[in-house]
Amino acid sequence: MTDYLNLIDGAWTAAGDGATFESRNPADVDELIGRFPASGAEDARQAVAAVAAAAPGWAKTSPENRAQVLDRTAELLLRRKESLARELTREEGKTLAEATNEVNRTAANFRLYAGEALRVRGETFPGEAGQIICTIHQPVGVVAAITPWNFPISIPARKIGPALAAGNGVVFKPSNLTPLMGHRLVETLLEAGLPKQVIALVHGRGRTVGEAIVTAPQTGVITFTGSYPVGKRIYELAGPDKRTQLEMGGKNPCIVLEDADLDRAVQVVTKGAFGLSGQACTGTSRVLAADSLYDALAERLAEATAAIKVGNGLQNGVAMGPLASQAQLDKVLGYVATGTAQGGRHLTGGERLAGNGRDNGFFVSPALFADLPTGAPLTCEEVFGPVVAMQRVADLEEALSLGNAVEYGLAASIVTRDLGRVLDFAGRIEAGVIKVNSPTTGVALAAPFGGIKHSSNQVYKEQAGAGVMDFYTTTKTVYLNG
C-alpha cells in the first residue's frame, strides 16, 4: 500500500481538497514510501473539534483501562519491531540498529506511561477545623502533539503516551518527512483498543495544518519538538490561555580536559557527533579541547571520523545513514563550505558521497574542522548534521566561556577524571542535560529532559520523573467543608 489517509473523527479520510504529498527514501529517492494527505487548515480544525467532542468520554474511562491500552500498544510495537525498524530506516535514513533502538524506546515509553496513568495524584493541605483542602488533576481536553522527523516514532510516543494516560484526546501532526511512522503509531494505538475518535492524525505543512491546530479554540495544550524559529512562532500564536511545551534545537559542546583519556574522548565525541548522521538535537557539534592534547585529539578524531562507513542504513556494517532530505543535504554542504571560508582547518569529510548504491541518496561523509574562530557559523549555529567544529582552549574557564557563548542550551559533556572540575562544569555550563565521560546524546526515559535558553521554553520538562503528568492535566484546589 502506498496511499495513506488522515484519521479525523474516527474515519480515515483524504485531505478536503484531495491534495497529497510524497514521502521518499532518503537513501534512494527513487523509492516511494507513500503518498499522504496535504491537508488544509479546515481539515485540521475538524480534527480538533472531533477530538474535543470525544475527549470527555476517554476521560471517564478508568485509569486501569487507559493503562491497558498503552501497555498493549507497547506489546504490539515490540511484536512488529523488525518491520517497523526497517520502515523507519527506509523513511528517515538512520541505520537499522538505530531504528531498532528507537522502536524499543517507543515501546518502553508506552509501558512507562501506562504506569503513569495510575499515578496521577493530588495533595492535601492544612485547612480550618472541619475542612479538607486538596488538589485534583483533571485532563485538559485536547492535546496537540507537533513533532519533528529525526525521532519520528519515539518523540511522538513521549507526548502521546502521557497525554492519553492522563485522559486527554490527542491531535497529532507528524513531520512531512516521516508521515509513515506517524501513521504506524496511530494504527497501533487503535489496534491496542484506543477509541478511534480520541486521537486524530493530520498530515500536512506546518504553516497550514500546524498553525490551524495551535490556534483552534479547543486546543488546550501544545507539546512541540522542533526548531527554535518554529517553536517561537507557535508560542506567539498560542497566546497565554494555552499551555505550551517547546523543546527545540541545540549547539552542544563536548569539553575535553588535559587529563582525559584520548581513547575515551574519541569514543565520546564520535558517538555523540555522528550517531544518527548528526541529526540529533543533543548531538555533539563542538569540541572544546585543552591545548596540551588538542593536536593529538584532532589527529585521532580525524582518523576515527574518516573510518565511519556511510551507506544505506539497511546494509550490514554501515555506521552512518544518509541525511534525511535534500534540504538537510543542502544545509550541511552549505555549512561545510563556511568551515574553510571562515578560517577553519578542514581535517576530513563533508563531501557528498556517490557510488556503492549511494547515487540516489543524500549521503555525505562526516566532517571535522579545527581551529575555528569564535563566532564562525560552525561554532554557534545549529547545523543538525554530521559536522564538528574543534576549538582550542587554555583551561576549563575558557571552555566554559566558549561553551556558553551560544544561544542554545540543550546538552553538554565533559571528558575528564577530575571530580572538582566536573562539579564546576555541572554548576556553570548552560545546558539542561549534562554528561560526564559520556556522549551528549542518549538520555534515560525516566529522567527529566529539556534544555534552557533557545533550546526550550522551560515551563515543563519532558519525560516521566519530571512532573510530566502535571503538564497534561489541570490542577484544581478544592476546599471541602462539611
- Site residues (CB under 6 A) for ligand NAD? 146-151, 173, 175-176, 206-207, 210-211, 214, 225-227, 230, 233-234, 247-250, 281, 382, 384, 410, 451, 455
Residue 434 CB contacts under 8 Å (≥ 6 apart), including other chains = 411, 412, 413, 425, 426
Q: Which is nearer to ligand NAD, 248 or 329 (CB)?
A: 248
Q: How far is the CB of 44 from ligand NAD (least distance, A)?
A: 10
Q: Which is nearer to ligand NAD, 422 or 443 (CB)?
A: 443
- List C-alpha distances in Å: 294 to 223, 289, 438: 41, 5, 19
Q: Which of 247, 254, 382, 462 is catalytic?
A: 247
Q: How far is the CB of 211 from ligand NAD (least distance, A)?
A: 4
Q: Which is nearer to ligand NAD, 148 or 169 (CB)?
A: 148
Q: How far is the CB of 139 from ligand NAD (least distance, A)?
A: 23
Q: Is 247 a catalytic residue?
A: yes
Q: How far is the CB of 462 from ligand NAD (least distance, A)?
A: 7
Residue 248 CB contacts under 8 Å (≥ 6 apart), including other chains = 225, 226, 227, 228, 231, 281, 408, 410, 451, 454, 455, 456
Q: Which is nearer to ligand NAD, 107 or 431 (CB)?
A: 431
- List C-alpha distances in Å: 227 to 74, 230, 276, 336, 434: 28, 6, 17, 20, 21
Contact 6, 39 (CB under 8 A): yes
Q: How far is the CB of 328 from ligand NAD (least distance, A)?
A: 8
Q: How far is the CB of 180 from ligand NAD (least distance, A)?
A: 14
User: Cα dihedral sign for 360, 25, 248, 448?
Assistant: negative
Q: Which is nearer to ligand NAD, 215 or 360 (CB)?
A: 215
117: which DSSP letter?
T
Inter-helix orientation angle 154-165/96-116, to 10°: 10
Burial profile 255-269: b = 16 or more Cβ within 10 angstroms, e = fewer? bbbeebeeeebbbbb
275: which DSSP letter?
G
Q: Which is nearer to ligand NAD, 94 or 421 (CB)?
A: 94
Q: Is 254 a catalytic residue?
A: no
Q: How far is it, in rounded angstroms, from Cα 14 to Cα 3?
A: 10
Name the residue type at position 307.
A
Q: Which is nearer to ligand NAD, 67 or 180 (CB)?
A: 180
Cell digits for 368?
571535522
Query: Residue 44's closest CA among 142, 162, 155?
Result: 142
Q: What are the helix (H) ranges across 316-460?
A: 326-341, 377-380, 396-403, 419-428
Q: Which of 87, 98, 254, 281 is catalytic?
A: 281
Q: How far is the CB of 203 from ligand NAD (least distance, A)?
A: 9
Q: How far is it, in rounded angstroms, from Cα 241 to Cα 212?
A: 16
Within the chain, what is the greatest distance between any pair of CA atoms?
80
Burial profile 278-311: b = 16 or more Cβ within 10 angstroms, e = fewer? bbbbbbbbbbbbbeebbeebbebbbebbeebebb
- Catalytic residues, by residue number, are 247, 281
